[in-house]
Amino acid sequence: MGGLSSPVDRDAPITDPITKKRHGPMTDLQSFVREIPDYPNPGILFRDITPLLADPAALSDAVERMSAPFLDKGVELVAAAEARGFIFGTAVALRLGAGLVPIRKPGKLPFDLHSFAYELEYGTDELQIHVDGIRPGQKVLVVDDLLATGGTVEACLRLLEKCEAEIVGCSFLIHLEALGGEARLAPYDIQSVLRYRGDDREQELSIQNRRPGPAI
Protein backbone atom coordinates (compact mmCIF):
# COMPACT_ATOMS: atom_id res chain seq x y z
CA MET A 1 0.00 0.00 0.00
CA GLY A 2 2.88 2.34 0.73
CA GLY A 3 6.04 2.66 -1.29
CA LEU A 4 7.95 5.12 -3.36
CA SER A 5 6.12 7.54 -5.60
CA SER A 6 6.58 7.01 -9.31
CA PRO A 7 8.90 9.43 -11.14
CA VAL A 8 7.03 12.30 -12.77
CA ASP A 9 7.62 14.38 -15.87
CA ARG A 10 7.53 17.98 -14.71
CA ASP A 11 6.82 19.17 -18.25
CA ALA A 12 3.78 16.95 -18.67
CA PRO A 13 0.27 18.28 -18.00
CA ILE A 14 -1.72 16.95 -15.03
CA THR A 15 -4.95 15.08 -15.77
CA ASP A 16 -7.62 15.17 -13.08
CA PRO A 17 -8.83 11.55 -12.72
CA ILE A 18 -12.37 12.70 -11.93
CA THR A 19 -13.02 15.67 -14.23
CA LYS A 20 -10.48 14.55 -16.88
CA LYS A 21 -9.45 18.20 -17.21
CA ARG A 22 -5.80 18.78 -18.07
CA HIS A 23 -3.82 21.38 -16.18
CA GLY A 24 -0.65 23.08 -17.39
CA PRO A 25 2.93 21.81 -16.96
CA MET A 26 4.05 21.25 -13.39
CA THR A 27 6.23 23.81 -11.65
CA ASP A 28 9.76 22.91 -10.56
CA LEU A 29 8.72 23.01 -6.93
CA GLN A 30 12.12 22.02 -5.60
CA SER A 31 13.52 25.32 -6.86
CA PHE A 32 11.15 27.07 -4.42
CA VAL A 33 12.45 25.15 -1.37
CA ARG A 34 15.31 27.09 0.20
CA GLU A 35 18.03 25.21 2.09
CA ILE A 36 19.15 26.86 5.34
CA PRO A 37 22.20 25.19 6.94
CA ASP A 38 22.61 25.10 10.73
CA TYR A 39 19.03 26.19 11.46
CA PRO A 40 17.49 26.12 14.02
CA ASN A 41 20.51 24.37 15.54
CA PRO A 42 24.03 23.57 14.30
CA GLY A 43 24.10 20.52 12.05
CA ILE A 44 20.51 20.85 10.81
CA LEU A 45 19.79 21.45 7.13
CA PHE A 46 16.40 23.17 7.18
CA ARG A 47 14.04 23.00 4.19
CA ASP A 48 12.36 26.40 4.06
CA ILE A 49 9.07 26.35 2.13
CA THR A 50 8.18 30.03 2.57
CA PRO A 51 9.30 30.93 -1.00
CA LEU A 52 6.91 28.26 -2.29
CA LEU A 53 4.07 29.56 -0.13
CA ALA A 54 4.67 33.10 -1.44
CA ASP A 55 4.42 32.09 -5.11
CA PRO A 56 0.81 31.60 -6.28
CA ALA A 57 1.67 29.23 -9.14
CA ALA A 58 4.00 27.10 -7.03
CA LEU A 59 1.54 26.93 -4.14
CA SER A 60 -1.33 26.00 -6.46
CA ASP A 61 0.77 23.31 -8.13
CA ALA A 62 1.89 21.89 -4.78
CA VAL A 63 -1.71 21.57 -3.60
CA GLU A 64 -2.73 20.01 -6.92
CA ARG A 65 0.02 17.41 -6.74
CA MET A 66 -0.62 16.61 -3.07
CA SER A 67 -4.29 16.09 -3.89
CA ALA A 68 -3.99 14.18 -7.18
CA PRO A 69 -3.40 10.64 -5.80
CA PHE A 70 -6.58 10.89 -3.72
CA LEU A 71 -9.04 12.63 -6.05
CA ASP A 72 -10.91 9.40 -6.73
CA LYS A 73 -10.67 7.92 -3.21
CA GLY A 74 -13.87 9.36 -1.77
CA VAL A 75 -12.09 11.40 0.92
CA GLU A 76 -14.62 12.94 3.29
CA LEU A 77 -12.28 14.64 5.74
CA VAL A 78 -8.69 15.84 5.83
CA ALA A 79 -6.94 15.63 9.19
CA ALA A 80 -3.99 17.94 9.82
CA ALA A 81 -1.80 18.60 12.84
CA GLU A 82 -0.69 22.08 13.81
CA ALA A 83 0.95 24.15 12.60
CA ARG A 84 2.02 23.96 8.95
CA GLY A 85 -0.27 21.00 8.44
CA PHE A 86 -3.16 23.45 8.60
CA ILE A 87 -1.84 25.38 5.59
CA PHE A 88 -1.79 22.42 3.22
CA GLY A 89 -4.57 20.51 4.97
CA THR A 90 -7.10 23.28 4.35
CA ALA A 91 -6.08 23.72 0.71
CA VAL A 92 -6.11 19.97 -0.02
CA ALA A 93 -9.49 19.61 1.70
CA LEU A 94 -10.95 22.29 -0.57
CA ARG A 95 -9.45 20.60 -3.65
CA LEU A 96 -10.94 17.24 -2.65
CA GLY A 97 -14.32 18.67 -1.69
CA ALA A 98 -13.75 17.47 1.87
CA GLY A 99 -13.94 18.94 5.34
CA LEU A 100 -11.00 19.70 7.63
CA VAL A 101 -10.42 18.27 11.10
CA PRO A 102 -7.67 19.97 13.15
CA ILE A 103 -5.50 17.80 15.39
CA ARG A 104 -4.09 19.94 18.16
CA LYS A 105 -1.92 20.03 21.23
CA PRO A 106 -3.51 19.92 24.71
CA GLY A 107 -5.36 23.04 25.80
CA LYS A 108 -6.25 24.21 22.27
CA LEU A 109 -9.64 22.56 21.64
CA PRO A 110 -12.69 23.59 23.72
CA PHE A 111 -15.10 20.64 23.35
CA ASP A 112 -15.07 16.99 24.48
CA LEU A 113 -11.94 15.25 23.23
CA HIS A 114 -10.33 12.07 22.05
CA SER A 115 -6.67 12.07 23.13
CA PHE A 116 -3.60 10.04 22.24
CA ALA A 117 -0.43 10.18 24.34
CA TYR A 118 2.82 9.09 22.73
CA GLU A 119 6.43 8.66 23.72
CA LEU A 120 9.12 11.21 22.94
CA GLU A 121 12.83 10.71 23.48
CA TYR A 122 12.58 12.55 26.79
CA GLY A 123 9.04 12.05 28.11
CA THR A 124 5.61 11.98 26.50
CA ASP A 125 3.33 14.27 24.52
CA GLU A 126 -0.29 14.24 23.46
CA LEU A 127 -2.53 15.05 20.48
CA GLN A 128 -6.25 15.73 20.66
CA ILE A 129 -9.31 15.88 18.43
CA HIS A 130 -12.97 16.71 19.08
CA VAL A 131 -15.13 13.65 19.72
CA ASP A 132 -17.57 14.76 17.02
CA GLY A 133 -14.83 15.62 14.53
CA ILE A 134 -14.87 12.22 12.83
CA ARG A 135 -17.63 9.62 12.69
CA PRO A 136 -16.68 5.92 12.66
CA GLY A 137 -16.10 4.75 9.09
CA GLN A 138 -15.51 8.18 7.57
CA LYS A 139 -12.76 8.28 4.95
CA VAL A 140 -9.93 10.46 6.22
CA LEU A 141 -6.71 11.67 4.57
CA VAL A 142 -3.81 12.89 6.73
CA VAL A 143 -1.94 15.90 5.29
CA ASP A 144 1.28 17.57 6.41
CA ASP A 145 4.08 19.56 4.81
CA LEU A 146 6.95 17.27 5.88
CA LEU A 147 7.59 13.59 6.54
CA ALA A 148 10.83 13.24 8.50
CA THR A 149 11.03 10.64 11.28
CA GLY A 150 7.24 10.26 11.22
CA GLY A 151 6.67 10.58 14.96
CA THR A 152 3.92 13.20 14.89
CA VAL A 153 2.10 11.69 11.91
CA GLU A 154 2.25 8.23 13.46
CA ALA A 155 0.57 9.70 16.54
CA CYS A 156 -2.08 11.26 14.29
CA LEU A 157 -2.77 7.86 12.73
CA ARG A 158 -3.14 6.19 16.13
CA LEU A 159 -5.57 8.92 17.17
CA LEU A 160 -7.63 8.46 13.99
CA GLU A 161 -7.67 4.70 14.53
CA LYS A 162 -9.03 5.40 18.00
CA CYS A 163 -11.83 7.38 16.30
CA GLU A 164 -12.51 4.34 14.05
CA ALA A 165 -11.84 6.38 10.92
CA GLU A 166 -11.15 4.72 7.58
CA ILE A 167 -7.70 6.13 6.86
CA VAL A 168 -7.26 6.59 3.11
CA GLY A 169 -3.57 7.53 3.34
CA CYS A 170 -1.14 10.36 3.99
CA SER A 171 -0.03 13.16 1.67
CA PHE A 172 3.12 15.25 2.14
CA LEU A 173 4.84 18.02 0.23
CA ILE A 174 8.35 16.90 1.31
CA HIS A 175 9.69 13.50 2.32
CA LEU A 176 13.17 13.20 3.85
CA GLU A 177 13.75 9.55 2.98
CA ALA A 178 16.92 9.05 5.03
CA LEU A 179 15.01 9.51 8.28
CA GLY A 180 12.85 6.41 7.82
CA GLY A 181 9.46 7.95 8.57
CA GLU A 182 7.61 5.99 5.89
CA ALA A 183 8.20 2.68 7.66
CA ARG A 184 6.51 4.01 10.81
CA LEU A 185 3.33 4.82 8.87
CA ALA A 186 2.86 1.35 7.36
CA PRO A 187 0.59 -0.09 6.08
CA TYR A 188 -1.04 3.15 4.94
CA ASP A 189 -0.67 4.66 1.46
CA ILE A 190 2.07 7.30 1.65
CA GLN A 191 2.35 9.90 -1.12
CA SER A 192 4.76 12.82 -1.38
CA VAL A 193 5.61 15.43 -4.00
CA LEU A 194 9.31 16.09 -3.30
CA ARG A 195 11.65 13.36 -2.06
CA TYR A 196 15.10 14.14 -0.72
CA ARG A 197 17.59 11.29 -0.43
CA GLY A 198 19.37 13.24 2.29
CA ASP A 199 22.85 13.45 3.75
CA ASP A 200 24.30 13.08 7.22
CA ARG A 201 23.21 16.55 8.28
CA GLU A 202 19.58 15.70 7.63
CA GLN A 203 19.74 13.00 10.28
CA GLU A 204 19.66 15.82 12.80
CA LEU A 205 16.22 16.87 11.56
CA SER A 206 14.84 14.18 13.84
CA ILE A 207 15.04 16.89 16.51
CA GLN A 208 11.95 18.45 14.94
CA ASN A 209 9.86 15.35 15.61
CA ARG A 210 10.77 15.22 19.27
CA ARG A 211 8.27 18.03 19.69
CA PRO A 212 4.50 17.74 18.98
CA GLY A 213 3.66 19.04 15.53
CA PRO A 214 5.95 20.30 12.79
CA ALA A 215 8.51 22.95 13.66
CA ILE A 216 8.15 26.39 12.09
Enumerate the active-site residues. Answer: 84, 121
Helix boundaries (H) for 48-150: 50-54, 56-67, 84-96
Q: Report the distance separating Cα 8 and Cα 91, nearest Å.
A: 22
Of 186, 213, 208, give the one whose Cα is nearest residue 127: 213
CA distance 20 to 213: 36
> Using CA atoms in the order 158, 161, 167, 169, what is the torsion angle rounded to 10 degrees?
10
User: What are the C-alpha distances in Å from 101 to residues 35, 46, 80, 194?
Assistant: 31, 28, 7, 25
DSSP of 87-114, one letter per residue?
HHHHHHHHHHT-EEEEEB-TTS--S-EE
Burial 108-121 (b: 16+ CB within 10 A, else e): ebeeebbebebeee
Separation between Cα atoms, residue 139 and residue 81, nearest integer Å = 17
